[in-house]
Each structure stands twice: as structure tokens, then as C-alpha cells.
Amino acid sequence: MAYETIIVETRSKVGLVTLNRPKALNALNSQVLADLLASCRAFEADADIGAIVITGSEKAFAAGADIKEMQSKSYVDAYMEDFFSGWEDFTRIRKPIIAAVSGYALGGGCELAMMCDFIIASDNAKFGQPEITLGVMPGMGGSQRLTRFVGKAKAMDMCLTGRMMDAAEAERTGLVSRVVATSDLLEEALKAAAKIAGFSLPAVMMAKEAVNRAYETTLSEGLRFERRLFHSMFALEDQKEGMAAFTEKRQANFKNR
Ligand SMILES: CC(C)(O)CC(=O)SCCNC(=O)CCNC(=O)[C@H](O)C(C)(C)COP(=O)(O)OP(=O)(O)OC[C@H]1O[C@@H](n2cnc3c(N)ncnc32)[C@H](O)[C@@H]1OP(=O)(O)O
């Protein structure tokens, strides 16, 4: 399939999506959303793919939603099309997704990174929710997800002042899982994705579902949900294989069954 705004590749069991609107610093317009969804859905349907990496350029992961596309919208336009609700579909991708972030991840760019399962950042990464400087506020989940990642004080600071957070602060506050040298970013993200893709896909997908449930429910319900999923894993051939491989001191050969 031909995509207008992204480059799609496969690297041994990993699907790689590179945002590719360099002149607009990868600003996220409706075509980017359509391309991103189509590519991730294709990876979801591809039994050979076990994880997905989304990245941008060295200068910008994405500098936000496309301001030029949205600036002339009216309230009725925004309300009737339920503007930005399409991004919720991206969060329904069940295979794991790593955001490999270099440069600016601002507004919708920061929000897209937070919709991924975890973020690996390069040491030049800058995160921010600068919508307030445009006379608006986050609209793709920033006020909710950023608050869950970094807590109320930092989220308020970022949403109300529009200031950017550098990679070190993002790692300290839990927004990103690791920071690597800019030159190593893609290699590190692909390595992490390949590691995940080497495990049992149903086990990986259930682990993703369980961690995500922690954001949506009480501790007791979450613990029950985790236990039930864990019980169901004893129906997997991969559980038998994984545990046999451990006791036989050999590498497991998972079949995703
Ligand atoms: C989803 C919501 C609701 O939460 C909202 C949003 O995401 S709103 C958007 C939030 N993002 C921003 O406000 C960041 C806007 N961009 C910038 O502040 C700067 O571009 C920068 C600090 C990231 C980089 O500055 P600089 O290096 O000086 O590059 P520029 O010359 O400004 O940009 C190059 C080129 O890209 C275009 N651009 C940048 N960001 C966007 C954007 N978000 N939407 C559309 N276009 C964008 C910029 O206009 C330049 O293009 P030309 O005008 O020269 O054609």
C-alpha cells in the first residue's frame, strides 16, 4: 500500500513507521492519522509482526497537530466531526507500540507518543503541550495522559505555561522509559521491539492489556483481571514451551499459540 505521509518498513518481526512530513516537522494532519491507522492495522493483521516502532526525524518526532489544517475550523465543524476522536482508534491497536522520539514531541506529537506503550527518547528530545500559546488546550489526550505519567504539578506546569521538558526531566518524571544518544535511538528502539517480538505474542498482548487496565480501574479489579489473564495463559502452548525451555536450559521457541 502507498502512504503519503509515512514510510513503512519491516525489520525482522518488527513493523517500523517513520512519520514523513519534514517540511511541517511531521505535524499530524488527517492524512497522517489515516496512514498511521492503516499501517498499524496492516501490522496487526500480519502474523509475522510482533511489535511496532513509530518514529520521526532527528529534529521532530511531531511538532503537534497541524495548526494550518485546523485553524479555520468552527465550533460546529469540530463538534460535528468529533475532531480528534479518530486518534482513539490508534489506542485500540493490540500489538505493542514503541515511540522512538527525537527532537520535538509537542502538542499532538507528545500526545501520540503517550498513546504508544512506552517511549524511548533521544537525548535531544523535547516534550511539551504548548496549546495554551495558541489560545487552546490539549485535545488528543494531553491533559489526561500527561497527568497520569508525570503527576498533577508537572502536568499543570506544562499545560498552563506551555514550557518544554527535556529528555532528562522526561525520564526523571516517568514520561519516558529510557534516554539514549540520538545516533542510537532507532537501533535501540528496534532492538527493544525485536526482543518483544521474540516472546509469545499472546502473552505480550495480554501483558499490554493488563498494564493498560491499571489506568482504567481500581486496584482490586485490576488484580483480579491480571489473575484471570494469568490463569488463561496455562492454556497456551507457549507457556508449556517457555517453562520447559527454562527447566531444560535452552532457548524457548514460541509459536504464538
Ligand atoms: C492536538 C492538540 C489539540 O492537542 C493541539 C496541537 O497539537 S496544537 C500544535 C501544538 N504544537 C505547537 O504549537 C508547535 C508549533 N511549532 C513550533 O512552535 C515550532 O515550529 C517549533 C518550535 C517546533 C520549531 O521551530 P523552528 O525550528 O523555528 O521551525 P519552524 O520554522 O517554526 O517550522 C518549520 C515548518 O514547520 C511548520 N510547522 C511546525 N509545527 C507545525 C504545526 N504544529 N502545524 C503545522 N505546521 C507546523 C512551520 O509552519 C514551518 O513551515 P512553514 O510555515 O515555513 O511552511
- Write out residues with Cβ below 6 Å of ligand 1: 24-25, 27, 63-68, 104, 106-108, 111, 130-131, 134, 138-140, 142
What span, in angstroms and rounded, lies between the C-alpha atoms of 207 and 246?
Answer: 20
Atom of ligand 1 nearest to the CA of 59: 27
d(CA 163, CA 156): 10
Q: pLDDT category, 1, cuts 50, 70, 90?
A: confident
Q: Which of 126, 131, 101 is nearest to 116 (CA)?
A: 101
Asked if residue 190 is part of any domain, the answer here is: yes
Residues of the domain holding 25: 6-197
Domain contains 256 = no
What is the tens place of the pLDDT at every residue in 203-255?
999 999 999 999 999 999 999 999 999 999 999 999 999 999 999 999 999 99
C-alpha cell at position 229: 489473564
Residue 54 shares a structural domain with residue 42: yes
pLDDT in tens, 131-175: 999 999 999 999 999 999 999 999 999 999 999 999 999 999 999
Residue nearest to atom 3 of ligand 1 (CA): 139
pLDDT for 52-93, tens place per residue? 999 999 999 999 999 999 999 999 999 999 999 999 999 999
pTM reported for the whole predicted model = 0.97
Flag whether 253 is in a domain. Answer: no
- Residue 188 inside a domain? The answer is yes
Please report the sign of the dihedral spanned by the C-alpha atoms of residue 181, residue 17, residue 5, residue 139.
negative
SS3 195: helix
> Which atom from ligand 1 is nearest to the alpha carbon of 60?
23
Residues 240 and 176 in one domain: no
In terms of domains, do 128 and 212 share one?
no
Whether the predicted pLDDT of 196 surpasses 90: yes
Say which of 24, 27, 63, 65 is annotated catalytic: 65
ipTM of the modeled complex: 0.98
Atom of ligand 1 nearest to the CA of 134: 13
Choose the catalytic residue: 99, 111, 113, 125: 111
**In the annotation, is 151 catalytic?**
no
Q: Is 108 a catalytic residue?
A: yes
Taking a C-beta distance cutoff of 8 angstroms, is the pair 100, 53 a contact? yes
pLDDT at 164: 98
